[in-house]
Amino acid sequence: MSEKITKNKILIIGIAGGLAQITSRIILQNNPDAEIYGVDNRDVPEVELKGLTCIKMKFSRGNFEKLFREHEFDVVYHLARISHSNIGPQDLRKRLELSVMGTSRILDLSLRFGIKKLIVLSTFHVYGALSDNSIFLDENAPLRASVKHAELRDVVEMDQICTNWMWKNQEQVETVVLRPCNIIGSQISNTMSKYLTSHFAIRPLDYNPVFQFIHEFDMATVLARSLDELKTGTYNVATDEFISLGDALKIVGVKGIPFPVSVAKPLNSLLKKGNLDIPDYLIEYLKNSCLISNKSLKSFLGEDFNRFNIKQALNLLKI
């Protein structure tokens, strides 16, 4: 367990996202003395919450250096991985620049400016959805996301940069890399939440993969608890439950468009013209399961770290 050190000054990168918003509220609830600086290159929400300051800024080396220099942060939350929704493989360069190069700069600055704890939000997508996946992959499983989809290279590279850096600098900075399963909720605007609430969702006829879902509130709680309760390492984040895609769609009440996913990829390029597309890589997740083990996380946070079970999480999407 990490020692109790003062962690009052917190930087959250990617504050415009729903998950970052909920996380900052939970942190402030747990520690009213905390001072949170939230930054994003997107429009930041106008929130009047004691202890939370949100700033919109361009993600550049100069701006980050200035930020780290002016505020002596104790903790950095890096929640700014660029989403793949609505972005095709053609934007790989842009995503590599933001996710990989940006992350590398944040890591450098964290070391230079004596950050005590760094928490990075990665994703379970790094493992890849392949037909020969074993079940409940642990954190040591190979990261095979880009085997079929080169556009997921940024996701894998960002994760690998963080984990390599984490072990190399573990004496100086306590680093936690989280690989959550599908985070869903009404405040979060990620690919899976959009998919599960879209009337144009493709309902696979030829496959019925099994999914793990975690509610945004539970994920935010894990992020907040990471501050004091998780020591340096990589952690999969998922609950014990799983559900087939067909059953999940039934719970959220989405009939979707029944369609053989085997032919979805070529069709997807046509659909892009009508702006009804889903990212190519997601098609793979609609075919094959990618389930992760939560053993390591539970050894620190306990058996019942989640408030919502999978059915409740899905039902809450309807609100």
Q: Which position among 260, 295, 307, 312 is part of the footprint of other proteins (CB under 8 A)?
A: 260
Beta carbon of residue 214, minimum distance to other proteins (angstroms, whole number): 16
Q: Which position among 77, 207, 217, 281 is part of the footprint of other proteins (CB under 8 A)?
A: 207
Q: Is 47 helix (H, G, I), strand (E, B) or coil?
A: coil
Beta carbon of residue 300, minimum distance to other proteins (angstroms, whole number): 23
Could you say which residues in the range 121-140 bind other proteins, by CB under 8 A?
A: 130-136
Residue span binding other proteins (CB under 8 A) among the ranges 35-43, 76-84, 160-168, 288-296: 288-296
In whole angstroms, give the CA distance from residue 242 to residue 49: 36
Report how far Cα 313 is from the mean position of its chain's Cα atoms.
Answer: 17
Q: Which is nearer to other proteins, 229 or 241 (CB)?
A: 241
Residue span binding other proteins (CB under 8 A) among the ranges 3-11, 12-20, 23-31, 281-289: 281-289
CB 133 within 8 A of CB 289: yes
Residue 291 in contact with other proteins, rule: CB under 8 A: yes
In whole angstroms, give the CA distance from residue 290 to residue 133: 7
Residue span binding other proteins (CB under 8 A) among the ranges 42-50, 81-89, 106-114, 207-215: 207-215
User: 148, exposed or middle or buried, with CB in 10 Å at 0-12, 13-18, 19+?
Assistant: middle
Residue 242 in contact with other proteins, rule: CB under 8 A: yes
Q: Is 286 helix (H, G, I), strand (E, B) or coil?
A: coil
Beta carbon of residue 196, minimum distance to other proteins (angstroms, whole number): 17
Beta carbon of residue 289, minimum distance to other proteins (angstroms, whole number): 7
Q: Which is nearer to other proteins, 83 or 296 (CB)?
A: 296
Closest C-alpha to 285, from 163, 123, 172: 123
Show the tokens assigned to 64. 């980050």
Residue 175 carries which side chain, given as an amino acid letter? Answer: T
User: 72, exposed or middle or buried, with CB in 10 Å at 0-12, 13-18, 19+?
Assistant: exposed
Q: Which position among 120, 192, 261, 314 is part of the footprint of other proteins (CB under 8 A)?
A: 261
Residue 209 in contact with other proteins, rule: CB under 8 A: yes
- Helices 102-112/61-70 angle, 10° precision: 30
Residues in contact with other proteins by CB under 8 A are 130-136, 205-210, 242, 244, 246, 260-262, 287-289, 291
